[in-house]
Structure 1
Amino acid sequence: MKIGIPKEIKNNESRVGMTPAGVFELTKKNHTVFIQTTAGEGSGFFDKDYQEVGAIILATIEEVYSKSEMIVKVKEPIALEYPLIKENQIVFTYFHFASSEPLTKAMIKSKSVCIAYETVEDEEGTLPLLTPMSEVAGRMAVQQGAKYLEKPIKGRGILLGGVPGVAPGKVLILGAGVVGVQAAKMAAGLGAHVTIMDINMKRLRYVNDVLPNHVTTAFSSEYSIRQLIKTHDLIIGGVLVKGGKAPKLITRDMLKEMRPGTVLVDVAVDQGGCFETTKATTHEDPTYIINDVVHYCVANMPGAVPYTSTIALTNVTLAYILKLANLGWEKACESDLSLSKGLNIVKGEIMYKELEGIFG
């Protein structure tokens, strides 16, 4: 199969769809891999690294799309790429269709085969291709939140871990999934006081067992959220609805209950966000302030640490890419139920039920 890896063109997105190690596994199986020149440089991989493992370097994104039967990316195509996608072409990437009507309509119109990393689901019900980026984003949420609590950036002026004689900051985490647990680990490691909330008692019991004693668990309800936001300095939203829009757990009116300089980090922004006041931002302009509350809602957080993120992503996507390349998408999805759940839009038809009717 002819596989194309274009350079990511989303704002400040430095990841690349595959490492040289991943390309090597494809070329030794006699697949042809096209990669756009400098596509890997942001992640620390150079054209010569890809050429040494058999990739063909192409000068433009247009050439990559036109020559390839399958496109392997990191982020969803943006408007400039819509007309480049061909009928029957496989596009394997993070799509997050629920957060973008224009993208959904464009992919329907393209009649391509859209397989979304974020809805590939294994037998245990986990999302193996979303997990590594959720791990990165969960940890980064605390790293970024701690920075934006600083006074020059309009935060409360809190050092998250405190110092002797001064109490540590308080972190509230909504959702005890992969993002939430990783965020709790990081915040606890800094010495912050951490509360993690969920409606799944099984997850809360797991958190209680594996995390330190200064991480407390709470059952999530609107009432309990309203109480806790009054006293917490950093609030992280990490709620996931598979393939669908995230629920709005913090409404606009709740901002008035928070102390000035409180920081909100919405890791669910790719799925529409779990704060009513969420709007997607970029690494170039990551924050905005509403009612004296700092919002950090960058839609590609792991793109800020591309070396780590690209390797972590290729580790989990490669087996599926090989299967698609070796068998073609139809046989690959017939033989692998997990991969078949990644089918979101196929030749103009919505295949993933959570997307049906989401935009009317």
Structure 2
Amino acid sequence: GRGVLPGGVPGVAAGRAVVIGAGVSGWNAATVALGMGFHVTLLDRDLDKLREADRFFGNRVQTVASNAFELERAVLAADLVIGAVLIPGARAPKLVTNEMVSRMKPGSVLVDIAIDQGGCFEDSRPTTHAEPTYRVHDSVFYCVANMPGAVPHTSTHALTNATLPYIVELANRGWREAVRRDAALAKGLNTHEGRVTYGPVGEAHGLDVVDIATVLA
């Protein structure tokens, strides 16, 4: 890292954290960064999400409508960049380029939460908890796949709490009837008998997509 204390000390400025993406992961990343004392900037293209973030965080977080200019300006000023861009079922867009990284502050850190979806930094590649980081130019990348695996007890209970009601529905009704009754389950069906049923997955892999209504008929 840059040797910067996130919260600073009297007479010395706090570090700057930039969070790209104002979804659930982005909000949590911003909350943690705030707790560490960073000056936090949250970027997203969705103004409704930014308004919601403003209401939640107040003036503790600076929200910025993301575009190429604002993104580059924020990244180059940052000590820490957290990529939290997620398009459900699809590859994450590559927003931070190698050229941008080459101009970042020496020792700056980039954390790619979207690595399970391919990552949102051009130089991202999956790493492990055993060897979590690598360097690109003068910056440090942290791109551990399955980051919640660092706290397996907590993450397993959290995942079970979220998924168990759906599992019970599938067990009680069978997958086809459960999917017919629950739109959330229907959105979660990606493939059936070798055919892709979810558009973003088909697009990401260059495969034809079958309408889910055909599968459920």
Q: Scaled by the length of structure 1, what TM-score is found?
A: 0.56
Report 1:56-71 matches (<5 A): none
CA RMSD of aligned residues (A): 1.1
Q: Which amino acid aligns with 1:331?
A: E
C-alpha separation in 2, matches of 1:265 and 1:278:
9
8 Å contact 2:23–2:49 — kept in the other structure? yes
SS of residue matched to 1:260: coil
Deviation at 1:171, TM superposition (A): 0.2
Q: Does 1:277 align with 2:88?
A: no
Deviation at 1:321, TM superposition (A): 0.5
Deviations 1:131-169 (A, max 9, x none): xxxxxxxxxxxxxxxxxxxxxxxx111111112222111
Q: Return 5+ residue gaps in structure 2 as ranges.
A: 207-217
SS of residue matched to 1:289: strand
Q: Which amino acid aligns with 1:172?
A: V
Aligned partner of 2:91 in structure 1 is 245
C-alpha separation in 1, matches of 2:37 and 2:74:
19
Greater share of helix residues, 1 or 2? 2
Aligned partner of 2:109 in structure 1 is 263
Q: Does 1:177 align with 2:23?
A: yes
Count matched residues.
206
Q: Return 5+ residue gaps in structure 1 as ranges.
A: 1-154
Q: Percent identity?
A: 51
Report 1:100-179 matches (<5 A): 155-179=1-25
Q: Does 1:218 align with 2:55?
A: no
Aligned partner of 2:158 in structure 1 is 312
Deviation at 1:313, TM superposition (A): 0.9
Aligned partner of 2:37 in structure 1 is 191
C-alpha separation in 1, matches of 2:187 and 2:149:
25
Aligned partner of 1:123 in structure 2 is none
Q: Which amino acid aligns with 2:71?
A: I
Moved over 3 A (4+): none
Q: Do the aligned partners of residues 181 and 357 (structure 1) sit closer, same or farther apart at CA in structure 2, a change above 3 Å counting?
A: closer
Deviation at 1:305, TM superposition (A): 0.8
Aligned partner of 1:152 in structure 2 is none
Deviation at 1:212, TM superposition (A): 4.2
Deviation at 1:225, TM superposition (A): 1.4
Q: Which amino acid aligns with 2:178?
A: A
Larger radius of gyration: 1
Deviation at 1:357, TM superposition (A): 4.1
Aligned partner of 2:192 in structure 1 is 346
Aligned partner of 1:287 in structure 2 is 133
Q: Does 1:300 align with 2:146?
A: yes
Q: Which amino acid aligns with 2:188?
A: G
